[in-house]
Amino acid sequence: MKKQSLITLGLLSVLMLSAVGCGNTDSTETMNITESEVALAASVENTEVDSENKLIYGTVNLPYADFYYGELNQIQPETDATAGQYNINDIVVSSGYEAEGMYDAVTSATTSKSKRFDATYFEEVETGVNILGVSNVNVAISKALYDDVQNAIANGTICQNPLVDLVSNMTLTEQTPAEYKVINSDGTLSKTIGNTVTAEDVTATLTTISSWGNYQINFEGLDVDAATVQGAILETNDGAVYGLQHEDNLWLQASELSFPVEPFTESHGNEVAYQRFTDIPGKTITKITYLIANGDDIAIPTDLFCNYQLSDEYGITGDETVTYSKEGTSIHVALTIPEDSTYNLSSIKKGKSTLDISGVSYDENTVTLPADFTPGSYKLNFEDKTYSGIQHIVTVDSGLTDDCLSFDGNTIQITSDTGLTGADFIANLSNALVNNEKVSGKGLSSILFTEEGALNLEATTKKDNVEVEIFPAGSTYEVTLEATGYPSITFEVTR
């Protein structure tokens, strides 16, 4: 959603507070503006600007509910407020923004990843991490309202909304930030005052087959530093808007995001909040806006239809394990789908790689894989224009026996008429033990073997963030390797 500028660039400097002191009116400097500038500023979003008004700037941590309420409801800034509305109940709470699945904290059991979002603040609990909201958000407040709140704090005035807490927790700054929210007298925060630019040459695609949500959106050509992303807003063709939260929807790479519309457990076992998205199926996402800290927000025009979710009566069954054949590996599948659907095999993934399926055939419920689809675990994705995609997972087994594998010349050797090689085995490594101790790390194949397929006796891995040798010199090691679709192999090496 595009942010509107409160005032023109020429007036920003007029409203800047030269020096800030708590309740010290002598520390500010009055500047004059012309009648035409006042009229121009007042014309922007019908916001009235008092030429004598001063704004105080600062930063504050904001819960997701408070951060998004102003954005999604286009709350206007009160730049001329003089007194706090202490008896008004918390509008954000009464609007349901803190309800479960709306804009409450993100609960995660992935303690390491959850603490890596630079634009958030969090708390650690016994079960993991709660991401509470957006950190160090730029805010502004009228000088008169700020002084009134300070007096209320001094007098012990009871406040029914976050106004006093917001002011109490502000870290004051003296410079006008590039973008900011205004603290209003009722304890709400306005939409962000700042600029939005439209991304160019960015392609967005949507898939309903994802381990992270019912919908996943991927961007090509998007240049956004995820560390600066405070949030993001989806806008649909009916004018509805939806805010996204870190880890549930926004990832450590801004080129991807996801969201569910029904109960959903992602790959790490975290239950992803879905309640605020339940009415999205059947809508078209027309714009996605990344909210950027201390910079221009980035709007991406899109045309992404959100496919309808299939009910439980529909789905796919088929072979769970088949035997590899260099003549072509056949997989039998059966799709139970709506009469008005036309599902096609859209993609096949092996691990994280999406494969070229130009040599794959799909005819009469049989998928036939060519010879280069060697043993391993495959995900067959079938998609339709109207309904959500369905996925079938199958293991292609090599059909080899233990005596087909050997370790010779520091390499894995396969003796059979299948055409399979040691390199195929290495590419599928799923587990490795050295003297019965598991080797940890991403990409076991590249850790343990060279590009030429030789066991790397100088291989290292990390333990407690310290690089350690897997095969320290001067010893003999028993190595057991497991690869999906192959028999395991055990051998000894000496270094």
Domain boundary among 397, 413, 437: 397
pLDDT, greater one: 406 or 128:
406
For the chain, the average pLDDT equals 89
Within a domain: 217: yes
In a domain, 191, yes or no: no
Asked if 375 and 432 sit in the same domain, the reply is no
Q: Which domain holds residue 465?
A: 402-494
**107 in a domain, yes or no?**
no
Domain assignment of residue 113, yes or no: no
Model confidence at 19: pLDDT above 50: no
Distance (Å, rounded) from C-alpha 365 to C-alpha 96?
47
> Cα angle at 99 between 97 and 100, to 5 degrees?
130
**E-only strand ranges, 100-151:** 106-108, 120-125, 128-142
Out of 8-12, 264-268, 458-462, least confident range? 8-12
For the stretch 370-385, pLDDT in tens is: 999 999 999 999 999 9
User: Does residue 40 register a pLDDT over 80?
Assistant: no
Amino acid at the residue 214: N
Determine phi and psi for 71, rounding to 5 degrees: -70, -50
Q: How many domains, in total, are found in the chain? A: 4
Residue 10 backbone dihedrals phi, psi, to 5 degrees: -65, -30
> Is 28's pLDDT higher than 70?
no
Residue 320 shares a structural domain with residue 391: yes
H or E element in which residue 366 lies? strand 366-369
pTM, whole model, 2 decimals? 0.82
Amino acid 26: pLDDT? 38
| pLDDT number for residue 53 | 52
CATH of the domain at 324: 2.60.40.10
| pLDDT tens-digit readout, 284-296 | 999 999 999 999 9
**Residue 444 domain-assigned?**
yes
Do 408 and 461 lie in one domain? The reply is yes
pLDDT at res. 24: 38
Average pLDDT over every residue of 380-402: 97
Same domain, 34 and 178: yes
Within this chain, do residues 29 and 62 fall inside the same structural domain, yes or no? Answer: yes
In a domain, 38, yes or no: yes
In a domain, 3, yes or no: no
Instruction: Kindly state whether residues 384 and 449 are assigned to the same domain.
Output: no
Kindly state whether residues 22 and 148 are assigned to the same domain. yes
**Where among 305, 327, 354 does a domain terminate?**
305
We report the CATH number of the domain holding residue 208 as: 2.60.40
pLDDT at residue number 489: 97
pLDDT tens digits along 190-246: 999 999 999 999 999 999 999 999 999 999 999 999 999 999 999 999 999 999 999
Kindly state the average pLDDT of the residues 396-410.
96
Q: What is the pLDDT of residues 254-277, one digit of tens each?
A: 999 999 999 999 988 889 999 999
pLDDT confidence of residue 34 = 36
Q: Where does a domain end: 397, 431, 462? A: 397
Q: End-to-end alpha-carbon separation of the chain, Å?
A: 61
Residues 236 and 294 in one domain: yes
Checking if the pLDDT of 38 tops 60, the result is no
Question: Token match 């409203």: residue?
Answer: 15
Which single residue is written with the structure tokens 């078209």?
Answer: 284
